[in-house]
Amino acid sequence: NWLFTLFQVVHAHKPHFMALHCQEFGGKNYEASMSHVDKFVKELLSSDAMKDYNRARVYLDENYKSQEHFTALGSFYFLHESLKNIYQFDFKAKKYKKVTGKEIYSDTLESTPMLEKEKFPQDYFPECKWSRKGFIRTRWCITDCAFDLVNIHLFHDASNLIAWETSPSVYSGIRHKALGYVLDRIIDQRFEKVSYFVFGDFNFRLDAKAVVETLCAKATMQTIRAADTNEVVKLIFRESDNDRKVMLQLEKKLFDYFNQDVFRDNNGTALLEFDRELSVFKDRLYELDISFPPSYPYSEDSSQGKQYMNTRCPAWCDRILMSHSAKELILKSENDEKIVIYDHIGPNVCMGDHKPVFLSFRIAAGAGKPIANVHKCCVVQ
């Protein structure tokens, strides 16, 4: 289902250059699942839907035995046969190399000069619990237009109860610190500065305290504590009248709101005011207007393509962001044709707990020149 739905998007938009960024490759049980990863990659590269893409680069961080380096990130890049003179940057040699053929790199990406990969410093991790969060960066040049593509995975909310305690939450502060680290890294003095796109699972969450106060504005709250530790383990919000109907139950990994339609109606637009984490970076990052429902957490039941799980408050975790200079690379529509599209994939299909998000646009190669060749690109989170 996942590949079939992706191929439908490829067929509809027909990009000349496509970047596909994945996180948590191999799932939780890496040793058992890596064989599925290999099958997935082979199917993706050999599919009829991708037959016109005669060059590809695949970077898979499969070295799960290295706790110090493992990020479980996967970055795929596909080049259409009609696209000429595509170059990728060699970070070690500090020069561009022409892209030919199809190549797959996995296991140990640290020795691959065509990318930069880094796991966040251990002191960035909440409670210093070492997990698979980090980024992979590649740099490309299409007819004199250079840009970085950064695959990123930021920290999740470990507990709904802790996220609810403060506004903004302690977790948003951790994500803020990590994203700032990446942005500083990709514009440091080691290499020439170019435009950049950062896309992946940012794990951005809605301001939990503000959301709960809004959704349960007229409710009364009951606090349930553990008998032995007196620690809060559950919050129950009930309507003041209407037979004290339960509106919301909140636990560490439970967010059970009685009416999921509020997250789906009009693509959840009413909740966008609580999506505040990106505002800290408004001087450094740009995002197109969101017009799709929260991308997480969807049911993993294959028959429940539209249903959210009751584990977390639905949020726009998966995003495609860009530098302000990258925004200028994207051509503005010259007529009524919708050239720039920012949307999610598989609205009615089970795609896993995250719905993939994509950005399709036409890029002005050699931007700033009077006559620029135009190529259509697509990036998928």
DSSP letters spanning 263-288: HHGGGGGGGGGG--GGGGGTTT-B-P
Question: What band does 63 get if pLDDT is binned at 50, 70 and 90?
Answer: confident
Query: What are the chain's domains?
Result: 2-204+267-360 (3.60.10.10)
d(CA 303, CA 309): 13
Cis preceding linkage at 121, omega within 30: no
Question: What is the model's pLDDT at position 368?
Answer: 38
Residue 52: name the closest of 85, 24, 29, 18 by CA: 18
| Better pLDDT: 332 or 302 | 302
Supply the pLDDT for residue 373: 57
pLDDT at 333: 52
pLDDT at residue 332 in the model? 63
Q: Which of 1-10, 55-64, 128-137 has the lowest mean pLDDT?
A: 128-137
Q: Looking at residue 252, what DSSP letter applies? A: T
pLDDT at 366: 60
Q: Are 88 and 146 in contact (CB under 8 A)?
A: no
Q: What is the pLDDT of residue 157?
A: 95
Q: What is the pLDDT of residues 7-41, one digit of tens each?
A: 999 999 999 999 999 999 888 888 888 888 999 99
So what's the pLDDT on residue 126?
75
Phi first, then psi, for residue 188 (nearest 5°) are -75, -175
Q: Is the pLDDT of residue 199 over 60?
A: yes
What is the per-residue pLDDT across 208-250, written as a single tens digit (0 to 9) for each? 999 999 999 999 999 999 999 999 999 999 998 878 899 999 9
Beta carbons within 10 angstroms of residue 71's beta carbon: 26
Q: Is the pLDDT of residue 371 over 60?
A: no
What single letter denotes the amino acid at residue 120? Answer: F
Residue 301: CB atoms within 10 A of its CB come to 10
Let me know if 248 is exposed, middle or buried by CB neighbors in 10 A (0-12, 13-18, 19+). Answer: buried
- Please report which residue ranges of the chain form alpha helices under DSSP H: 2-13, 30-46, 160-165, 170-186, 208-215, 261-264, 324-329
The whole-number pLDDT of residue 337 equals 60
As a whole number, mean pLDDT of residues 99-120 equals 93
C-beta separation of 345 from 351 below 8 A: yes
**Average pLDDT of the residues in 188-214:** 96
Considering the chain, what is the average pLDDT of its residues?
92
- What's the pLDDT band for 370 if we cut at 50, 70, 90? very low
3-state class of 177 per DSSP? helix
Distance CA 322, CA 194 (A): 11
- Does the pTM surpass 0.85? The reply is yes
Residue pLDDT, tens place only, 254-311:
999 999 999 999 999 999 999 999 999 999 999 999 999 999 999 999 999 999 999 9
Q: For residues 176-199, give the mean pLDDT.
A: 96
Q: Give the pLDDT of residue 43.
A: 94
Once rounded to an integer, what is the mean pLDDT over residues 106-127?
89
For residue 59, is pLDDT > 90?
Answer: yes
Tell me what the mean pLDDT of segment 100-124 comes to.
92
